[in-house]
Amino acid sequence: MNKLMKYSLIASVLLLSVSVWSQQFPAGELGFDYSYARFAPNASGSQGHSLNGGGGSIVFNLNDVIGIKMDFQGYGSNTSHFLFAPSPNFPTGAGANIQGNLFTYLFGPQIKLHSAKKIQPFVHALFGGAHSNVYANAFKNICVTGVCAFSTAPANNAFAMAFGGGVDIPIGHSISIRPVELDYLFTDFTNQFNNSNQNNFRYSGGITFNFGSRGTTK
């Protein structure tokens, strides 16, 4: 092997190594966050609830762009006033202060630009379920006096989905700061206390830990 071929081979190996290194991405991401949700009961007799909480997410990356995400959030109880005018469901009208919480557990694809060095934007589409005791508590507090024309408590569980995204700012190979994630959060608690499903807003922010590493091959 002459010198030219030898140097060419060495240069090719070095270029391949750099290329593979530049295409490396974390095998997974574990996030912890604070979260605020504006839960909209979508009821004529109640205003929206401002809920504070938090949770986390885990992402398993299939390549340097696409991952599968699991997201879990929980929000503490907040008190809101329910006041209903006379109607078929509330023949004499009804009202009470009601406490309610909210939990979501969602799954779906995430698209994230891991190749970006300073700011890594991402978007996701998540589907799953939600749990809230707000309507069951409304039934216990309002209907116990006999003012309701129905006798079955609303379900605590419903379908949910979230569409949105945010940005991560890497501060090393293993840690990223997530200053903002904004989501449209849909929940389908449909019962006698509301008019239809709920269109909610969610903000989250926190920290993400990367673990493992993978590299794409062209």
pLDDT digits (tens, 9 = 90+) for 99-126: 889 999 999 999 999 888 889 999 999 9
Give the list of residues 6+ apart from residue 97 with CB closer than 8 angstroms, or none: 79, 80, 81, 82, 141
CA 41 remoteness from chain centre: 18
| Stretch 75-82: mean pLDDT | 84
Provide, rounded to the nearest whole percent, the portion of the chain with pLDDT above 70.
87
Residue with tokens 């673990």: 211
Task: Single out the residue of 105, 123, 101 nearest to residue 53, CA to CA.
Answer: 101
Q: Which of the four pLDDT bands, split at 50, 70 and 90, describes residue 148?
A: very high
The domain 26-215 is classified under which CATH number: 1.10.3720.10, 3.40.50.720, 2.40.160.20, 2.70.70.10?
2.40.160.20
Q: Which of the four pLDDT bands, split at 50, 70 and 90, describes residue 22?
A: very low
CA distance 107 to 105: 7
Would you state the pLDDT for residue 162? 98
CA distance 66 to 25: 11
CA distance 166 to 36: 15
CA distance 135 to 171: 43
Would you state the pLDDT for residue 217? 47
Residue with tokens 């879990």: 72
pLDDT score of 169 more than 50: yes
Would you state the pLDDT for residue 15? 37
7-16, 140-149, 167-176 — which is least confidently predicted?
7-16
19-23, 94-98, 122-126 — which is least confidently predicted?
19-23
pTM score above 0.85: no
CA distance 158 to 38: 17
Structure-block tokens of residue 26: 């974390």
Q: Which of the four pLDDT bands, split at 50, 70 and 90, describes residue 136?
A: very high
